[in-house]
């Protein structure tokens, strides 16, 4: 008997179901003595022994379904060693559930925080295989995470729709794109949507440069400007602050997010009307795009292959178009940022896109 525990952890994204389907179909195509324990709401289910027994049938018909059939929750890594309100040691509780159910392995789908905990569980002696999910595409060790391309499609669609109304009204529009501390989604959606200015956390901006671009566009007969801004974008001034000082500044910020601060500054420095659009969680919603369905299926099948070989302790990555296993210890705790020297940035600049830096 092969006994597999499976969970999805952290913020959801498109193609989580497609990836789980890939794992289960891959295993069940080779073995028929499989028991699947689906843990509810990520690590929470593993901690408190909240699971449901699933069969391969439960993973049929879910390729195109958004969200996760298992539910998910955020269980911060830094809180894992802190006992819960009843004094329960969460790490010991997870190990207990694993051993009590005599699991052969855990399949964990998640992003950065999830991988820190997955690596810790692997170091604690559990058999773990992980799959790279997140719209942010910020997971170290893989070129691509599933969810990313679907989010890029949605953010691009938002920019496309804003383009027409921005043009009609000769307005400046700021579209705030998700991505946590990195700018991959904004960069790709910004280029695909023809944004005039793209602001990323990795390239601090100068508000005077942005104001100048808007004025020059107006003077040249282009009275509208589209600015794609990553939620984590930062000004040159703020980038000079120490991490702690910046955090304190953000806590005191009177605006709900970066876009509102930018809008106020632009209105002061130009004669333009500024509007803000925040697509927010729509970027994580709905069906996965075909590309995500394909890579989720691939990483799922590659995970199945490792499980059948009992080769544990890895994340399945997409590297140069191939599925590869990467040791969890190499992935945990590292972020994959946009490289300001990347050719994508240089090519975008050649087409006239400004990153607000000079």
Q: Name the residues annotated as catalytic.
A: 136
Phi, psi of 234 (to 5 degrees): -145, 145
Is residue 40 within the footprint of ligand F6P (CB under 6 A)? no
Query: Nearest Cα to 356, choosing from 186, 161, 178?
Result: 186
- Nearer Cβ to ligand F6P, position 284 or 293? 284
Query: Least Å distance between CB 179 and ligand F6P?
Result: 5
Region binding ligand F6P by CB under 6 A among candidate stretches 51-59, 115-123, 173-181, 209-217: 173-181
Contact letters for ligand F6P, residues 324-343 (x by CB under 6 A): --------------------
Tell me 336's DSSP state.
-
Cα separation, 105 vs 9, in Å, equals 16
- Nearer Cβ to ligand F6P, position 11 or 313? 11
Q: Counting Cβ atoms within 10 Å, is residue 265 exposed (0-12), middle (13-18) or buried (19+)?
A: middle
Q: Which one among 45, 111, 141, 300 touches ligand F6P, defined by CB under 6 A?
A: 111
Phi-psi region of 124 (alpha: psi -120 to 50; beta: other; left: phi over 0): alpha
Region binding ligand F6P by CB under 6 A among candidate stretches 99-107, 119-127, 154-162, 177-185: 177-185
Is residue 153 within the footprint of ligand F6P (CB under 6 A)? no
Is residue 44 within the footprint of ligand F6P (CB under 6 A)? no
> Scanning residues 268 to 287, which ones bind ligand F6P (CB under 6 A)?
284
- Nearer Cβ to ligand F6P, position 225 or 259? 259
For residues 295 and 318, the answer to whether their CB atoms sit within 8 Å is yes
Contact letters for ligand F6P, residues 45-74 (x by CB under 6 A): -----------------------------x
**Virtual torsion, Cα 91, 97, 102, 106, nearest 10 deg:** -60
Q: Which one among 45, 179, 201, 279 touches ligand F6P, defined by CB under 6 A?
A: 179
Region binding ligand F6P by CB under 6 A among candidate stretches 100-108, 176-184, 259-267, 338-346: 176-184
Cα separation, 326 vs 115, in Å, equals 12
Is residue 11 within the footprint of ligand F6P (CB under 6 A)? yes
Query: Least Å distance between CB 155 and ligand F6P?
Result: 11
Which of 17-46 are b and which e, b meaning 16 or more Cβ less than 10 Å from the residue's Cβ?
bbbbbbbbbbbbeeeeebbbbbbbbbbbbb
Cα separation, 138 vs 241, in Å, equals 23
Name the residue with the smallest CB distance to ligand F6P. 178
Q: Are strands 172-177 and 225-230 parallel, antiparallel or unpaired?
A: parallel
**Alpha-helical segments (H) within 54-183:** 90-100, 112-123, 148-169
Query: Least Å distance between CB 134 and ligand F6P?
Result: 5
Query: Least Å distance between CB 304 and ligand F6P?
Result: 26
For residues 204 and 239, the answer to whether their CB atoms sit within 8 Å is yes
- Nearer Cβ to ligand F6P, position 78 or 309? 78
Phi, psi of 73 (to 5 degrees): -155, 160
Query: Nearest Cα to 168, choosing from 281, 275, 46?
Result: 275
Contact letters for ligand F6P, residues 214-233 (x by CB under 6 A): -----------------x--
- Nearer Cβ to ligand F6P, position 135 or 172? 135
Is residue 292 within the footprint of ligand F6P (CB under 6 A)? no
Radius of gyration of the chain (CA): 22
Is residue 200 within the footprint of ligand F6P (CB under 6 A)? no
Query: Least Å distance between CB 55 and ligand F6P?
Result: 30
> Scanning residues 126 to 145, which ones bind ligand F6P (CB under 6 A)?
134-136
**Which residues bind to ligand F6P, rule: CB under 6 A?**
11, 74, 111, 134-136, 178-180, 231, 284
């Amino acid at each position: 008997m092969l006994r597999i525990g499976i969970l999805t952890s952290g913020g959801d994204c498109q193609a989580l179901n497609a990836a789980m389907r890939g794992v289960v179909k891959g295993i069940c195509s080779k073995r028929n003595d499989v028991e699947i324990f689906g843990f509810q709401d990520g690590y929470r289910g593993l901690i408190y022994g909240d699971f449901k027994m699933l069969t391969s049938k439960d993973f049929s018909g879910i390729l195109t379904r958004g969200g996760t059939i298992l539910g998910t929750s955020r269980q911060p890594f830094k809180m894992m060693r802190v006992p819960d309100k009843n004094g329960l040691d969460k790490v010991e509780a997870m190990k207990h559930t694993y051993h009590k159910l005599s699991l052969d392995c855990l399949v964990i789908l998640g992003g950065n925080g999830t991988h820190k905990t997955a690596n810790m569980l692997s170091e604690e002696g559990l058999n773990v295989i992980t799959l790279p999910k997140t719209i942010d595409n910020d997971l170290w060790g893989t070129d691509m995470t599933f969810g990313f391309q679907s989010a890029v499609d949605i953010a691009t669609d938002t920019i496309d729709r804003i383009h027409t109304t921005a043009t009609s009204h000769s307005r400046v529009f700021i579209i705030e794109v998700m991505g946590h501390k990195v700018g991959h989604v904004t960069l790709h959606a910004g280029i695909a949507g023809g944004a005039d200015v793209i602001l990323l956390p990795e390239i601090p901006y100068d508000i005077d440069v942005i104001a100048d671009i808007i004025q020059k566009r107006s003077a040249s007969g282009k009275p509208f400007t589209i600015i794609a801004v990553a939620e984590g974008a930062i000004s040159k001034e703020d980038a000079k602050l120490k991490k702690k000082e910046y955090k304190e500044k953000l806590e005191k910020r009177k605006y709900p997010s970066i876009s509102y601060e930018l809008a106020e500054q632009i209105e002061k420095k130009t004669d333009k009307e500024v509007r803000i659009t925040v697509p927010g969680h729509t970027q994580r919603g709905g069906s996965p795009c075909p590309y995500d369905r394909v890579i989720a299926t691939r990483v799922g099948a590659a995970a199945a292959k490792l499980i059948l070989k009992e080769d544990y302790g890895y994340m399945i990555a997409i590297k140069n178009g191939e599925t590869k296993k990467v040791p969890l210890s190499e992935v945990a705790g590292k972020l994959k940022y946009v490289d300001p020297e990347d050719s994508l940035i240089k090519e975008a600049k050649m087409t006239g896109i400004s990153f607000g830096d000079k």
